[in-house]
Amino acid sequence: MFAFFYLFVYLGRFNFWPISPLVKDDLNFSYLQIGIINVCLLWGFGLGDLFHGRLSEYYGFRVWIALGAITTTLFNLLASFGTSIWSIAIPYGIAGFCNAACWAPGISMIAQWWPRKDRGLALGIIGTASGGSMLLMWWIVGYVGIEFGWRSAFRYPPIIVLILGFVLYFLVRDRPSHAGLQEYIEEDVVSSTPELPGPGKLTRLGPYKSLLKNPKFHLASHVKGLENVVKYGLTTWIPLYYFEVGQHSIESTILLTAILPLGYLIAPPVSGLISDRFLDSNRRPMVITSCIASAVVLLLVAIIPPDSSYIGAVLLLLGGLSIGLSPMSTLAVDIAGRDMAATSSGLLDAHGYAYAGLQALLFSIILDMTGSPWNIVFISMAFVRVLSVAMIYKVRV
């Protein structure tokens, strides 16, 4: 049920991306102003990640998810009435903060039901839902924006998130014991060690202290951050790149760039299944594979002109597939154990969105000040993936 709910969550989170060319044209925004709106969304979401995971461990995962769905819809509606940079960016940033309540609590809820040996596939299915959510968002929001205007894209698609938030609240339970079932027991030493009780480990701020003292978690968090520089860097800038440099129509641009999240949809369960069944639940090899493959694709995007729809489609599909192979969310839960899964997922994701917001700001400044050198943007992303290989190599769980 959570995977189905998450299929539609991006209708209220990343719905600015496919319509950004329309907003830019209608309100005469610069690249920097487009970047600021993205920064507010991404950093708003990251800030929410710092709090929502831990709060959901107190008040209940499904309660927090439903609350996030309601408030996401409300602040998207407020953003739709914006006429200037800040009248859009501020409510949209708050919508990002609220939408974060739908992620870490959900990851922790899944962790309560599936042990480590099956967790890669379980969270891989959630990754597929995330990729599917990006794809559905691109199509639905893109269609609504083209047919009814960009303001409608903020107003109507997020209503689906609101409705499904209520449905999820009434249909799911946070953990097996809430459904009258027995909790699972981790069978091996590697899997059970993160769940051993420690002094003050589960007190109010205990999970934060425990995780922030863990060097493996620190490295994993920064790798996630660098991963989001690429994942959300592509989804932020690829539409404008193909629209302006490739000279594609807005309809063609939306259809072409919708292929990128198709890769995000296919790869996660494959990665999870491989790590669970063939790598003894070791996530690191899949992260390294993802980094190397996506670096190669990014170099090709930088080199090959964007005027061919067919070549662009192949590159974007390969880019989505290679990035989607990285099971960083599963790795965070493996490091922390199920009792701190929401806090660890939130902290990891907060790093991810801090970096993602930084790339939106940094690349927008580069594009505005130096005459749109798009190849530098994609080469920088490739370098980031190579750097991630060196960092993740030291994370053994």
In a domain, 188, yes or no: no
Q: ∠343-344-346 over CA atoms, to 5°?
A: 65
pLDDT for position 190: 57
Which 8-state DSSP code applies to residue 179? G
> 212-235: string of b/e by CB count within 10 Å (b at 16+)?
eebeebbbbbbbbbbbbbbbbbbb
CA 8 to CA 164: how far, in whole Å?
8
CA 124 to CA 119: how far, in whole Å?
8
CA 207 to CA 115: how far, in whole Å?
20
User: What are phi and psi for residue 337, nearest 5 degrees?
Assistant: 85, 165
In a domain, 274, yes or no: yes
Count of structural domains, the chain: 1
In a domain, 77, yes or no: yes
Residue 106 structural domain: 2-174+207-392
CA 309 to CA 8: how far, in whole Å?
27
Nearest residue to 267 (alpha-carbon basis) of 372, 120, 57, 373:
120
Contacts of 285 (CB under 8 A, 6+ apart): 275, 279
In a domain, 197, yes or no: no
Nearest residue to 319 (alpha-carbon basis) of 308, 311, 307, 327:
311
pLDDT for position 363: 84
**What pLDDT digit, counting tens, does each position of 328-364 carry?**
989 988 888 888 889 999 999 999 888 988 887 888 8
In a domain, 179, yes or no: no
Looking at residues 16-40, what average pLDDT do you find?
87
Structure tokens at 2: 């959570």
What is the band of 5 on the pLDDT scale with cuts at 50, 70, 90?
A: very high
Looking at per-residue confidence, does 155 or 19 come out higher?
155
In a domain, 195, yes or no: no
* Lowest-pLDDT choice from 226-230, 248-252, 319-323: 248-252
In a domain, 186, yes or no: no
Looking at per-residue confidence, does 250 or 380 come out higher?
380
Residue 346: CATH number of its domain: 1.20.1250.20
In a domain, 125, yes or no: yes
Structure tokens at 281: 């639940």
CA 330 to CA 110: how far, in whole Å?
10
Identify the H or E element spanning 111.
helix 104-113
What is the band of 106 on the pLDDT scale with cuts at 50, 70, 90?
A: very high
